[in-house]
Amino acid sequence: MDNKQQYTQFIKSEAKRLGFISCGISKAEFLEQEAPRLEKWLKSNAHGEMRYMENHFDKRLDPTKLVEGSKSVVSLLLNYYPSEIQNTESYKLSKYAYGTDYHFVIKDKLKQLLHAIQDEIGDVQGRAFVDSAPVLDKAWAAKSGLGWIGKHSNLLTQQVGSFYFIAELIIDLDLEYDHAVTDHCGTCTACIDACPTEAITEPYVVDGSKCISYFTIELKENIPSDFKGQFDDWMFGCDICQDVCPWNRFSKTHSEPLFNPHPELLSMSKNDWEEITKETFNKVFKKSAVKRTKFEGLQRNITFLKE
């Protein structure tokens, strides 16, 4: 077994030990196929107020510009599918936001993985990325054979569907590279048909500025009144396109205690949410991703749903 093969096997077994459900590796190079797609998407203003998407265009497409000397992109998936779902009669929030903010949980695991690599192999330099820098997570995960990009633009796998986080470790180490898998969406249009705001404008293209997640998390101003009555009670994020996807019948419950929700969260009624105080918000969402929208943002969203 040569070093490259040995190192690759070591990284994949360490990733598994740390709780990642899968690990795929790609050569760190320019994402040729993604460049025209990203450019077209930005030109159509599908990113709405998410102006940060316009920054670092070159770095988004070329990891060697982001991490000096990088040779490999290690993509990892971490399951967040919960064992219990919120009361369906209540206002809803995305399943990924039930527990502790994933940025903290995954960053910690990635640091452990990098340290394990350095302990085993020696002087390996790299950086960890969790949805927080100009890295096209889904494109790298697909290129690394972890799944295919579905018509709703999320990464899909036949084994566990799509309820997982994607993260990367970009390192200056040559490894064995994986290959992309085939698309298994077929003629299914469940996600396109189910989206209440028609944000999936064509297969594989999402107009971010029409997405319920965008309105309830990213948008800082008032939600446009044209969308009244179309949010299906989602107050933070939205899982509709994933919930209706046939591949998510294979979702398995996560095994990360930090992703378990605050006990009060699942039982809160619409009335509880409408009367939520700042104290309760801080207690229930102490380390949650919901903090991104802040107490005032969540109140705005609830008021919009209520009117």
- Which one of the listed residues 131, 232, 233, 272 is annotated catalytic? 131
Q: What is the rounded distance in angstroms from the CA atom of residue 131 to the CA atom of residue 247?
A: 23
Average pLDDT over residues 38-50: 59
Percent of the chain with pLDDT over 70: 91
Average pLDDT, the chain: 90
Q: How confident is the model at residue 88 (pLDDT cuts 50, 70, 90)?
A: confident
Active-site annotation holds for 131: yes
Q: What is the rounded distance in angstroms from the CA atom of residue 151 to the CA atom of residue 203?
A: 5
CB atoms within 10 A of CB 182: 5
Q: What is the rounded distance in angstroms from the CA atom of residue 61 to the CA atom of residue 6?
A: 29
Q: How confident is the model at residue 272 (pLDDT cuts 50, 70, 90)?
A: very high
Average pLDDT over residues 38-62: 61
- The per-residue pLDDT for 49 is 57
- The per-residue pLDDT for 162 is 97
Does pLDDT of 42 surpass 70? no
What pTM did the predictor assign?
0.91
